[in-house]
Amino acid sequence: MISAAELDVLHRAIKDHPSAGGAGKHLESITALLSDILPQLEELIVRATVAPSPLDQATQQLIFAGGKRVRPVLTILFERLCGGDGKKCLKLAAATELIHSAALLHDDVIDEGDIRRGRPASRVLWGNLISVLSGDLLLTHALELIQQSGIPGAMEDILQTTRSMIHGEVLQLEARNSETISVETYFELVRSKTAALFAHSCRSGARAAGAQIEVIEACGRFGTHFGTAFQIIDDVLDLEGVPQEVGKQLGHDLSEGRITLPIALVFEGNGESIRPLVAKARSGDALSALLVSQLPLVRQACEKARAIALNESLEGKKAVAEILPNCRELQLLVEIAISLVNRRA
């Protein structure tokens, strides 16, 4: 773990870093940079939602709900960073978004989630069976796109990645029945699940460009750190975000029994006094979850979590700084990784 002194330095760095502006601004810059490619990406994603009714409606309910397309954008950027034009990887890029969407459709069934991206979850509107089948459909389309791409090693990579994601889901299910909320378990879970798909997205771009194995692996390490930071900030926003902006009520993840880093940090320190309230929240009590989010101990832990996320972003930068060319694409990647830490929605 990071020491208290290191956390303090990182906390100050969050505000002082020149890239600590809004992540949205940097996403807009990336969108402008890739304006000739992103419409083609969107066409591939939309085409994958064509299916018999109501499967088409269930997939479109999620995919058209305003996702940021961060994973496929990373794939395109990494192809360009490794010498490609960003177009050879398009099928792989679309596949990462479809796999992410499939996982969300399945997660909502497992977690009995009602809201996704500020809209009713597909399972609420069409039932669990349709939501599961819709996820299966997107996953099948993703595998088809990967096969059609003809990129060496891409299929083996996604199979390894999905195995890792399933392992992470099992860890999450096991954690629901445990009174212990361990920081170590949290990081194993996040790196197996969320970060694994980010790492795959980055490796896919490098593979499409024909990069050497050491470059592909370095790109994957960036993705692991970026994905870990991304999940940490999602955890923080669950406890201190603005509900209308993050698309869910405060404490929503906690009330679904999920492990989040701020709560794990509280229990690693002096959190015994709030254990009964947290246990009640994790059992599904939404009011208790909201009360937990307001506690000073939890708000302090959120700041520590942001500092840890910054450290992950900086480690990601280190992974690629010396192996990739210093160009506008790399600058934008670093900027968005750092600015992610100050995300408020």
The answer to whether residues 83 and 211 touch, using CB atoms and an 8 Å cutoff, is yes
pLDDT in tens, 183-199: 999 999 999 999 999 99
pLDDT in tens, 203-241: 999 999 999 999 999 999 999 999 999 999 999 998 986
Q: pLDDT confidence of 243, banded at 50, 70, 90?
A: low
Q: pLDDT confidence of 328, banded at 50, 70, 90?
A: confident
What is the pLDDT, as a whole number, of residue 248? 62
Question: Percent of the chain, pLDDT > 70?
Answer: 89
What is the pLDDT, as a whole number, of residue 316? 95
CA pair distance 109, 32, nearest whole angstrom: 36
Taking each helix axis as running N to C, give the angle between helix 213-240 and helix 328-339, from 0 to 180 degrees, rounded to the nearest 10.
30
pTM for this model (two decimals)? 0.89
CA pair distance 77, 84, nearest whole angstrom: 9
Phi, psi at 223, each rounded to 5°? -60, -40
Contacts of 254 (CB under 8 A, 6+ apart): 238, 239, 260, 263, 278, 281, 282, 289, 292, 293
pLDDT in tens, 14-24: 444 444 445 56
| Token couple for 322 | 């010396």
Mean predicted confidence (pLDDT) in 147-173: 96
176-204 as b/e, with b when 16 or more CB fall inside 10 Å? eeeeebebebbbebbbbbbbbbbbbbbbb
Contacts of 57 (CB under 8 A, 6+ apart): 125, 126
Could you tell me which residue, 88 or 342, shows the higher pLDDT? 88
- pLDDT tops 80 at residue 66: no
- pLDDT tops 70 at residue 306: yes
Q: pLDDT confidence of 81, banded at 50, 70, 90?
A: very high
CA pair distance 187, 189, nearest whole angstrom: 5
Contacts of 162 (CB under 8 A, 6+ apart): 99
Taking alpha carbons only, the member of 316, 311, 322 closest to residue 11 is: 311
CA pair distance 302, 232, nearest whole angstrom: 9
- pLDDT tops 90 at residue 32: no
The answer to whether residues 312 and 225 touch, using CB atoms and an 8 Å cutoff, is yes
Could you tell me which residue, 251 or 345, shows the higher pLDDT? 251
Q: In this structure, what is the dihedral angle of CA atoms 188, 193, 198, 199, given to the nearest 10 degrees?
A: 50
What domains are there in the chain, each with its CATH number?
Answer: 4-337 (1.10.600.10)
